A and B are shown apart, each in its own frame.
With several copies, the nearest count.
Chain A
């Protein structure tokens, strides 16, 4: 998809009217993710239910439209999922922007699949993956800044 269309059809909406931007009450985990070269800077917040499923989530911070929209779409996708499945989605997303997973897999990302063409824009890959990487660091590596 041509970049201008990508913005028009998906990115702008999530950037200008994000569903998950803001703070949640009493999150279980908080983690800061940054892209030094871009200045993108987000705080991801997650809360889990008794089964370990993501029950609530939000992000905060500032950055370019792609980093913001991608984080918002990610939260759309993972809220309600068990940790493992959320991590699987992150794997698929990473594979997608690296161009190493196939169409079928990509469909599992719902709306976030629309960022597939970012693979051809290496300079923006870091923007698109910021939220996802931060989630991986949280759920896979157990990083948590909540005191």
Chain B
């Protein structure tokens, strides 16, 4: 992997003054992705699935090819196991509204971790409100680890659904979804693996995870905004009721009832985002061309510099696993006396983009504040991707070392 060549594919990275370290929020898009979408619009733009003319047939092929490519990317058996959605949040809501409301009942337990993203918390709160199921939380150790023992203790025979991010967007830690899957399957339950933060950084294999559902967002893995995916086991999709309803997801519509199209179309109501899917497919192709080995290697190099650099600074607290290789490119930290928002604002004057705040993980912030005596219920987070360089990492550490000075200490 030649990082200089790769960076040329990302026009927004051309200005060396800027350091973009907010990749866990959204990634940048290479020209290949933009070009694939533009080409769709310029040569075959039509409403897929229904047209009997050339452009619509091409558009349908492009859309279904994108589905097949996405299925292969996550390790699914069959393209029909991929439902295209807007983003990971919608994927998780789809599971909650369709599977959750239909198959969970009073007294069942839903188990999630305290480090879940709000998008993997609120839908389950909704399911619990409406069904009488109970939401339980598993808390990690201080460094973010969840062990098999902790899981065994948390899973009871009432646990019918586990929601677990494969990689935490705050700590970067990889969670033991395989063990969780095993335990919940013994109860005839299912596991919803939220892959929003893992899919960009590591080879996905839903089979190996034992995942019944797997959610992800295109925009976090070089794809466009507005497209994401839900992997779901075919037999689950078959028995789940539809969620959104309208055009394209039906067979017959009578005035008072309807029958539904086959899986996965049953879950894709209305005109599909075909150009978004084409963009996602181009992003997948781009990632596969580089290869996850090379991607991880580069991320580890950069993350190590950031992690160890911050660790060595006085007044800086770095969270999560002591091994920077276990951070999936994410380094979360705080600086004594400095509110994360002020940190991010002054770093912005150095053209360094990081995120600060609760990271859509307020329960985790609360947990960390208590366990780790954090000053504020918020952190600063640098998140790197394979197109980031070691020089950027060094510049970042250098800048962080000056933050306390800029803030008057």
A interface residues, Cβ below 8 angstroms from B: 2-4, 7-8, 11-13, 15-16, 36-39, 62-66, 121-124, 127
Q: CB-CB < 8 A to A37: which residues of B?
A: 50, 251, 261, 357
Q: CB-CB < 8 A to A122: which residues of B?
A: 57, 60-61
Residue in A closest to B248 when the chains form the complex, CB atoms: A37
Complex CA–CA separation, A36 to B362 (angstroms): 10
User: Of B29-37, B112-120, B137-145, B338-346, which binds chain A?
Assistant: B338-346
Instruction: Choose one: B61, B337, B349, B357; the contact of A39 (CB below 8 Å).
Output: B357
Cβ of B314 < 8 Å from any Cβ of A? no
Asked if A64 and B60 sit within 8 Å, CB to CB, the answer is no
Instruction: Choose one: A7, A39, A63, A127; the contact of B407 (CB below 8 Å).
Output: A7
Asked if B346 and A3 sit within 8 Å, CB to CB, the answer is yes
Q: CB-CB < 8 A to B409: which residues of A?
A: 16
Asked if A36 and B251 sit within 8 Å, CB to CB, the answer is yes
Complex CA–CA separation, A64 to B340 (angstroms): 8
Complex CA–CA separation, A123 to B48 (angstroms): 10
Complex CA–CA separation, A8 to B50 (angstroms): 25
Most chain A CB inside 10 Å of its own CB: which residue of B61, B339, B340, B346: B339
Asked if B358 and A39 sit within 8 Å, CB to CB, the answer is yes
Interface size class of B (residues with CB under 8 A): 20 to 34
Asked if B408 and A124 sit within 8 Å, CB to CB, the answer is no
How far does the Cβ of A118 sit from chain B's closest Cβ, in whole Å? 10
Q: CB-CB < 8 A to A7: which residues of B?
A: 342, 346, 406-408
Is chain A's binding surface mostly helix, strand, loop or mixed?
helix
Complex CA–CA separation, A123 to B47 (angstroms): 13
Can you give 8 contacting A-B residue pairs, CB < 8 Å? A3-B345, A7-B406, A11-B408, A36-B250, A36-B252, A121-B57, A122-B61, A124-B52
How far does the Cβ of A61 sit from chain B's closest Cβ, in whole Å? 11
Instruction: Choose one: A12, A39, A63, A121; the contact of B345 (CB below 8 Å).
Output: A121
Asked if A63 and B339 sit within 8 Å, CB to CB, the answer is yes
How far does the Cβ of A45 sit from chain B's closest Cβ, in whole Å? 22
Instruction: Choose one: B60, B341, B349; the contact of A2 (CB below 8 Å).
Output: B349
How far does the Cβ of A22 sit from chain B's closest Cβ, in whole Å? 18
How far does the Cβ of A143 sit from chain B's closest Cβ, in whole Å? 18
Asked if A123 and B51 sit within 8 Å, CB to CB, the answer is yes
Complex CA–CA separation, A7 to B404 (angstroms): 11
Contact A123-B57, Cβ < 8 Å, known A39-B377, A62-B376, A66-B342: yes
Residue in A closest to B345 when the chains form the complex, CB atoms: A3
Rank and list the top 6 A-B pairs by shortest CB-CB distance, nearest first.
Answer: A12-B408, A36-B251, A64-B339, A64-B341, A65-B342, A123-B52
Most chain A CB inside 10 Å of its own CB: which residue of B50, B252, B342, B407: B342
How far does the Cβ of B119 sit from chain A's closest Cβ, in whole Å? 16
Q: CB-CB < 8 A to B56: which residues of A?
A: 123
Interface string of B368-387 (1 = CB under 8 A from A): 00000001111000000000
Complex CA–CA separation, A38 to B348 (angstroms): 17
For window 243-290 of B, CB contacts with A under 8 Å fall at 250-252, 259, 261
Instruction: Choose one: B57, B339, B349, B376; the contact of A4 (CB below 8 Å).
Output: B349
Instruction: Choose one: A4, A8, A16, A38; the contact of B341 (CB below 8 Å).
Output: A38
Contact A8-B52, Cβ < 8 Å, known A3-B348, A122-B60, A124-B341: no
Most chain B CB inside 10 Å of its own CB: which residue of A38, A62, A121: A38
Complex CA–CA separation, A36 to B258 (angstroms): 11
Residue in B closest to A63 when the chains form the complex, CB atoms: B339
How far does the Cβ of B35 sit from chain A's closest Cβ, in whole Å? 25
